[in-house]
A and B are shown apart, each in its own frame.
Chain A
Amino acid sequence: DSGVTQTPKHLITATGQRVTLRCSPRSGDLSVYWYQQSLDQGLQFLIQYYNGEERAKGNILERFSAQQFPDLHSELNLSSLELGDSALYFCASSVAAGPTYEQYFGPGTRLTVT
C-alpha cells in the first residue's frame, strides 16, 4: 500500500458526460500528479500540482481540468467524454516537487466510456 488513495476504483459512463476522479496523497506529501494509461500503453503525464498550485502541464486535453484543495487532495475533472478517454487514471504524490523526490502511485481509477 503506497498510502495514496483514489476513488472511485471503477467508473462507467456514457459519451458526453462529465466525471470527477479523486485522489488523496500520502500523508505529508505536497505534490500530486495525474497520469493517463490507455490499454497496454505507458503512462502519459497530465498535470502536476504542488501545495495547491499548478506546477506543470503535460498532454492534458482542454476538456480535462484538475485542482488541488487546501487539504491537499486533488480532483481530476473529465468532461464531454469520448470513447477514447477510456483508460486507467493514476494519481501519484511526492513530498515536494524538486529533483530528488520519488513519486508514489495510487491504485488507479478505471474509466470506461460507452
Chain B
Amino acid sequence: GQQLNQSPQSMFIQEGEDVSMNCTSSSIFNTWLWYKQDPGEGPVLLIALYKAGELTSNGRLTAQFGITRKDSFLNISASIPSDVGIYFCAGQTTSGTYKYIFGTGTRLKVLA
C-alpha cells in the first residue's frame, strides 16, 4: 500500500540529545499527524498540523508542516529514556475520502 517516506528508519541517541526526523511525499497533504507507538500498544497522537508552514509544540516535541505541503518534521529536544519507541507520521490526502497515509516509522532508542 501507499506509504510516506520517513527517515531515519532508526536511530540511537544519547540521553539529553536532540532528535530530528522527517516525512516526505510526492503528494500534497491537508493534514499531518505525528504518533508515538510503544511495543504492542496503539499509536498515541502527539501533534496535529493543519496549515502549510505551521509550527506546533507539545512539551519537548515540535513539529512543522512543510511549506510545500509534501513534508513534515518532528523534533524532540533533550531526549529522555521514555522517548524510546516508534514514531509515525501520517498525512491526510486531498482526495475526497480524506484517508490517512502512514509513514514507515522511525525507531528511536535512547542510551542513558
Contact = CB atoms under 8 A, between A and B. Distances in A.
Interface in B19-36: 30-31, 33, 35
Nearest to B4: A42
A52 interface: no
B48 to A, nearest CB: 5
Given A102-B45, A106-B42, A45 B102 contact: yes
A26 to B, nearest CB: 12
A48 interface: yes
A2 interface: yes
A100 B48 CA distance: 9
Give the interface size bracket for B toward A.
20 to 34
Interface string B85-112: 0001010101001111111110000000
A99 B31 CA distance: 7
Q: How large is the interface on A (under 10, 10 to 19, 20 to 34, 35 or more residues)?
A: 20 to 34
Contacts of A45: 1, 99-102
A interface secondary structure, majority: loop
Contacts of B50: 100
B31 A43 contact: no
A105 B43 contact: yes
16 contacts: A33-B99, A42-B88, A42-B105, A45-B101, A48-B99, A55-B97, A56-B99, A59-B1, A97-B97, A97-B98, A103-B33, A103-B45, A104-B45, A107-B41, A108-B42, A110-B40
Interface of B: 1, 3, 30-31, 33, 35, 40-45, 48, 50, 88, 90, 92, 94, 97-105
Given A48-B99, A58-B99, A102-B33, 12 more contacts: A42-B3, A45-B1, A48-B97, A56-B97, A59-B1, A100-B30, A102-B31, A102-B45, A103-B45, A105-B35, A105-B45, A108-B40
